[in-house]
A and B are shown apart, each in its own frame.
Chain A
């Protein structure tokens, strides 16, 4: 009973946070709404007995990612979202249709089937299991992910910096 109430409260907060995050023009407000969403999500992870993932969600997303985003946004111009610099969205009707159709297609089969799946017995501590899986069975994908992050970092710097200033005979494009 109490779990049901907690689930509905947390998911309402999460959905509201997500909606606010995409609808705010002011990017700083948007990031705060996103943080709200992350926090509610970590609550949902706790309810799923995923203690480690919930902790990481708070540490990494609410803590590091949110702060980084705030930094990045405050270092750029036009934070307060003036309406002139918006991309035109002509296809909003079809977007809306798709947004409605997707949950219907994805959620209808489980809803029609009734019978919620039986929750498995709670594992003792997920951190140990996750750790041993990551370091033994999935160590190669983990390394590939590290490479992915390296590539993303290098790429972000390369694109943000633009071309080097000293190629002979070519001036830097505006």
Chain B
């Protein structure tokens, strides 16, 4: 076994444990600095992994004589690396957000930071998983960390309620997932994803395999918040502390999709028929449900929750393309490409939006707290506008190209399929509906002065944003614009990562 293969995960765990140790000797006043330390360590790891990936290869060369990228149930390829970078970026932004949020959080900060790092470790392992054991164990690590993080503001009833709901529904989803894995194992006799590509010994085994696969998709559907498994989303998003909600919306969802992508990649052609139909139905229902429910929402976190459900639906469209028959004209690589681009844009937009939310006063996150934001803090208003417009998928921002690529890949794959027409109608309808609710946010920012009778006095107070948060917000806004206008660099970088799916 080569330890260097797991160097990123080991670095994350050691950082988390180190934070817990340092906490013992840190006075209450200095606890926030632990968050800066954690973010700094993760930034170093990110920079090392992006700019000097050969360091790890060099060590494995030294120790074993040849470069190792694969261990049992674990693969460190360009695909895994890309997702690990996304998760690291998300975790860094969440940690910095949590430092600013510490006053509202009123909780044990060191444990909070450590649990964020543990959840990050789980996501990072999930990106590399190539068998069902690694899949289940990493998903559980993510979920258990989030059970705690969700209920961290335990002084607030709503946070506790969110934690309990997430715990119970999450446990039920894990049970479904594990039952599905057991059936798949019973049918194929192997825990590896690769076994899904081989024929079963008999028709009965094949039946079990199909049933197991559906249950696995259902269990992962809970993590990505696809339609029939999305019940937990609004309450948990609303009740959890804002940094946790952001991490849940981006990290947990991306990890679920990374696993689904690897899983679908190994499927047999006749199983692809099945998953194509199931995923098309899930995608349509998810888009419709998320968009329609978001229409009437006035609570910002719930609104982002429903919008997140809708975007899971769009990402499922990309997953459809992965299930195209091998040798079809648009290969699975195209769908994969689109999903990874969309996830990057979604990450930046969600993180920017939630960083803005952290700096708003007002406990209830009603749309009316945004009233007059453009006068109170032009920076917050501008960044929130950019992020919302990007999520709505308007050019020239990053979200536009992501959504466009997803729709394109799905429709090319589906073109011979009878479900194509209605799915196209639903997806485009979802885009139109999303314009309405996203522009509700913009209306609240710029024209929302008159609709908040409860808060006449504090309206004109300027909001001061700490320098580091200001820098991050500006960076997020610029990335959304820059990559939206010049996407070529990111798209080329993604070319390596999707080589697996060609």
A contacts, CB < 8 Å to B: 106, 109-110, 113, 115, 137-141, 144-145, 147-148, 150-152, 154-159, 161-164, 166-168, 170, 172-174
Q: How far is the CB of A93 from chain B (nearest CB, A)?
A: 16
Q: 6 tightest CB-CB pairs across the interface, nearest first? A: A155-B148, A173-B155, A158-B111, A141-B137, A151-B118, A148-B141
Q: Is the CB of B155 within 8 A of A141?
A: no
In whole Å, how far is B273's beta carbon from the nearest beta carbon of chain A?
18
Interface residues of B in 133-147 (CB under 8 A from A): 133-134, 137-138, 140-141, 144-145, 147
> In this assembly, does B450 line the interface, its C-beta being within 8 Å of a C-beta of chain A?
no
Determine if B145 and A141 form an interchain contact, defined as CB atoms under 8 angstroms apart: no
CB pair B148 A152 closer than 8 Å: yes
B327 CB contacts on chain A under 8 angstroms: none
CB <8 Å contact, A151 and B145: yes
Contact status A156-B125, CB under 8 Å: no
* Complex: A139 Cα to B152 Cα, angstroms: 31
Q: Could you pull out 26 A-B pairs where Cβ atoms are within 8 angstroms?
A: A109-B208, A109-B211, A138-B72, A138-B133, A139-B1, A140-B1, A140-B72, A141-B73, A144-B122, A144-B134, A151-B141, A151-B145, A152-B148, A154-B20, A154-B148, A158-B108, A158-B115, A158-B148, A159-B151, A161-B108, A162-B155, A164-B108, A166-B28, A170-B106, A172-B155, A173-B156
> Which residues 117-134 of B sit at the A interface, judged by CB distance below 8 A?
118, 121-122, 125, 133-134
- The closest CB in chain A to the CB of B176 belongs to A102
Contact with B134, one of A109, A141, A151, A159 (Cβ below 8 angstroms): A141
Contact B152 A115 (CB under 8 A): no
With an 8 A cutoff between CB atoms, is B376 at the interface? no
B204 interfacial contact with A, CB 8 Å: yes
Rounded to whole Å, the gap between the CB of A117 and the closest CB of chain B is 8
The docked-state distance in angstroms from the alpha carbon of A164 to that of B138 is 30
Please measure, in the bound complex, the distance between the C-alpha atom of A138 and the C-alpha atom of B72, giving whole angstroms: 7
What's the minimum C-beta distance from B60 to chain A, rounded to whole angstroms? Answer: 15
* B residues near A155, Cβ cutoff 8 Å: 111, 115, 144-145, 147-149
Say whether B227 faces chain A, with CB atoms less than 8 Å apart: no
Chain A residues within an 8 Å CB radius of B71: 140
- Contact: B207 with A156, CB < 8 Å? no
A144 to B119: give the CA distance in the assembly, Å.
11
Task: Report which B residues bind A (CB closer than 8 A).
Answer: 1, 6, 13, 20, 28-29, 71-74, 103, 106-108, 111-112, 114-115, 118, 121-122, 125, 133-134, 137-138, 140-141, 144-145, 147-149, 151-152, 154-156, 163, 179, 204, 207-208, 211
B107, A163: Cβ atoms under 8 Å? yes
Which of B29, B106, B156 has most chain A Cβ within 10 Å?
A: B106
What distance in Å separates the Cβ of B179 from its nearest Cβ neighbour in chain A? 8
B151 closest partner in A (C-beta): A159
Q: How far is the CB of A72 from chain B (nearest CB, A)?
A: 15
**What chain A residues lie within 8 Å of B145 (beta carbons)?**
151, 155
- State the Cβ distance, B217 to closest chain A Cβ, in Å: 14
Bound complex: CA A170 to CA B102 (Å): 12
Q: A159-B151, A167-B106, A173-B155 are in contact. Are A154 and B73 (CB under 8 A)?
A: no
Residues of B within 8 A of A141 (CB): 73, 133-134, 137
- CB-CB under 8 A from A137, the residues of chain B are 72-73
Report yes or no: A140 in contact with B6, Cβ–Cβ below 8 A. yes
The reply to whether B106 and A173 contact each other, CB–CB distance below 8 Å, is yes
Q: Among A138, A170, A172, which residue has the most Cβ atoms of chain B within 10 A?
A: A138
Q: Are B134 and A163 in contact (CB under 8 A)?
A: no
Q: Within 8 Å CB of A173, what residues of B?
A: 106, 155-156
User: Are A147 and B154 within 8 A (Cβ)?
Assistant: no
Residues of A within 8 A of B115 (CB): 151, 154-155, 158
Question: Which residues of chain A come closer than 8 Å to B107, judged between CB atoms?
Answer: 158, 162-163
User: Would A154 and B141 count as touching, CB distance under 8 A?
Assistant: no
Chain A residues, CB < 8 A from B211 = 106, 109
Q: A144-B122, A170-B106 are in contact. Are A154 and B207 (CB under 8 A)?
A: no
Complex contacts, A145 vs chain B, CB 8 Å: 137, 140
CB of A163, distance to nearest CB on chain B (Å): 5
Cross-chain contact A174 with B140 (CB below 8 angstroms): no
Chain A contacts of B29 at CB under 8 A?
168
Pick from A138, A154, A174: contact of B155, CB under 8 Å = A174
Residue from A115, A148, A170 in contact with B144 in the complex, judged by beta carbons closer than 8 Å = A148
A147–B13 CB distance below 8 A: yes
Q: Given contacts A140-B72, A173-B106, is CB(A162)–CB(B111) below 8 Å?
A: no
Partner of A170, one of B103, B114, B125: B103
**Does B111 lie within 8 Å of A154, measured CB to CB?**
yes
- Docked Cα-Cα span, A99 to B270, in Å, equals 31
- A151: contacting residue among B6, B72, B148, CB under 8 A: B148
Report the bound CA distance from A168 to B32 in whole Å.
13
**A164 lies within 8 A of B28 (CB):** yes
Q: Which residues of A are found within 8 Å of B152, using beta-carbon distances?
A: 158-159
